[in-house]
A and B are shown apart, each in its own frame.
Chain A
Amino acid sequence: MKKFAIGPKLAAAVLAIFVVGCAKEPPPPPPAPTPVVAPAPAPVSKIIPGSAEDLRVNVGDTVHFDYNMYAVLDADKATLQRQAAWLAKFPAIKVTVEGNADERGTREYNIALGAKRANAVKEYLVSLGVSAARVDTVSYGKEKPICSESTESCWAQNRRGVTVIASGANS
């Protein structure tokens, strides 16, 4: 990904041109000259390929599940295909798939259900050519929610499989 090689200053300029180009209103006054020393780094372009952030932001680390189910949903297959391609690109990386459940189940059952979900993600990645030895699994049951409300929307967010780097990340 070439854009990561772009320095912060240049990136800011590219961004400014883009904004100007999109504007439908009459062109705004010319931008102030870029300071010699940028006060803050640009928010983009800092992600290191093969890093945890790269997996999370550019590939997508999370898939979701239906209530009490562990089958990989069609809607999430593209995410897992990107994960498989990314793992092919960074062969030193090993990952752990974390299976999670919503709060609407008993503690032990949710641990077991999360294990089935993590394993379903692993099996799908393996079916795409990822070596099984590179994919570990763990279940947190209902112990690691990312949304705490007792609503359908939160439960849907919490029923998830998250692929995280176990070792071999670039940093």
Chain B
Amino acid sequence: MRKFASVLIALAAMALCQPGFAALQVDVNQGNVQPLPIAIPDFVAPTAADAAHGQDIAKVVRSDLERSGLFKPLDPKSYIDQIANINVAPNFQNWRVITAQGLVTGQVAMQPDGRLRVDFRLWDVYGESQMLGLQYFTQPTNWRRIAHMVSDAIYQRITGEKGYFDTRIVFIAESGPPLKRVKRLAIMDEDGANPSFLTNSYLVLTPRFNPTAQMIAYMSYITGKPRVTLFDLETGRSEKLGDFPNMTFSPRFSPDGNLVAMTLESGGNSDVYVMDLRTRKSTRLTYDPAIDTAPSFSPDGKQIVFESDRGGSQQIYVMNADGSNQHRISFGEGKNGTPVWSPRGDLIAFTKQAGGQFGIAVMHPDGSGERILSNGWEDEGPTWAPNGRVLMFTRTIRGGRGSQIWSVDVTGRNLRRVATPGDASDPAWSPLIQ
């Protein structure tokens, strides 16, 4: 198991760094953004041994920025200039000719202590100024993380929003024929790299990260009945959460990581409970004989959004974290479920079932401003990027032809399939890794 907390990264502003005037920017709130043309040549390397890292890091940065939909990395074959020394200002005219508005120059060099040093600069080609310059040190095996951190820094400098490339996705890897599906807990980097399985062949569903991305709560059928289970990524150990006679499912951590909201079933009836991980005491929050499930905390931890069919059809409700003031917020068309509060607090994403379709939609926590972001045969189960700008969800193909993970910008743009090793469902986005 890769341990994120142990990664050693030094970060320093470089001498040439003169942030301030930002002519080069992308407004992510615009409904229709032209991707920003940007050139990212292979990072220079003093030795042939470092050259591969320089190429690999630049390639990952190009891929990250392209995937965001906000950048258009230019084909390296179109470059007419070469970067030989990142400490010399580039010949901006040669980058303007190929329509680049942004330019990233970088270098990698193995240090005597065995660490890899990575430097990069972000240039405003038209403003002829440096926007950003950063330096990282890491173990060479962590070069991918450094590449994602470079991408995050560029994204943040140009959009004003935090990036989300240095994150991971926990999900359910699916295999086998439609009627004998094998579902396993799996994890990968946000770009699909480094996939690995965490469980074997018993049924598992709906994994969720805790706020430190070290713990995963999920539903496991390993004992025959679904039980909320915790998986510790550091130790690789799993543990059933609580000792309840019946089913427990749909877990989700509180923003401080101390609580898990989940559903307990008793006598066929499902209600929302909260368990305190420190005391292992559980508190019942809903008492309705209808189905109450799929809880998700607000980012301040003071409220919980959940779904219930107490009004006759599956709809979205909000309550205080102590269970008080339960009130319906979804009044749009069709049935609405699997609500997830944005980490920014401004929106709730959910699954809308209407007109024979399942789509991903967002609305404000008071139920206003509903917008549909995707529509498919069976799009469901949204999860937010830590910056609240992008969502992933499960797209199931009609006729038992498998499930895929897709992503979409909160504006509804940039709908695309996420790279997974085989079929996949139930994605959960990690917070930014510390």
Contact = CB atoms under 8 A, between A and B. Distances in A.
A106 B380 contact: yes
Interface string A99-139: 00001111111011101111110110000000000000111
Q: Please report whether the interface of chain A is mostly helix, strand, loop or mixed according to DSSP.
A: mixed
28 contacts: A105-B314, A106-B338, A106-B351, A106-B380, A107-B381, A107-B426, A108-B206, A108-B263, A109-B293, A109-B307, A109-B338, A111-B247, A111-B249, A111-B263, A111-B293, A113-B291, A115-B247, A115-B269, A116-B291, A117-B268, A119-B267, A122-B268, A141-B205, A143-B181, A143-B183, A146-B179, A150-B377, A150-B399
A143 B396 CA distance: 13
B203 interface: yes
Nearest to B224: A138
A29 to B, nearest CB: 44
B303 interface: no
A49 interface: no
A108 B399 CA distance: 20
Interface in B188-216: 203, 205-206
B386 to A, nearest CB: 23
A170 interface: no
Contacts of B225: 138
A149 interface: yes
Interface string A41-76: 000000000000000000000000000001000000
Interface of B: 178-179, 181, 183, 203, 205-206, 219, 224-226, 246-247, 249-250, 263, 265, 267-270, 291, 293-294, 307, 309, 314, 337-338, 351, 353, 358, 377-378, 380-381, 396, 398-400, 426
Contacts of A117: 268
A118 to B, nearest CB: 7
Nearest to B219: A111
A120 B267 CA distance: 9
Contacts of A111: 205, 219, 226, 247, 249-250, 263, 270, 293
B398 A108 contact: no
A145 interface: yes
B356 to A, nearest CB: 9
Nearest to A113: B291
A5 B183 CA distance: 43
A109 B314 contact: yes
A107 B338 contact: yes
Contacts of A112: 249, 263, 265, 270, 291, 293
B314 A103 contact: no
A115 B314 contact: no
A115 B358 CA distance: 23
Contacts of A104: 353
Nearest to B291: A112
A143 B205 contact: yes
Contacts of B203: 140, 143
Contacts of A140: 203
Contact of B380 (A107, A115, A148, A150): A107
A117 B265 CA distance: 12
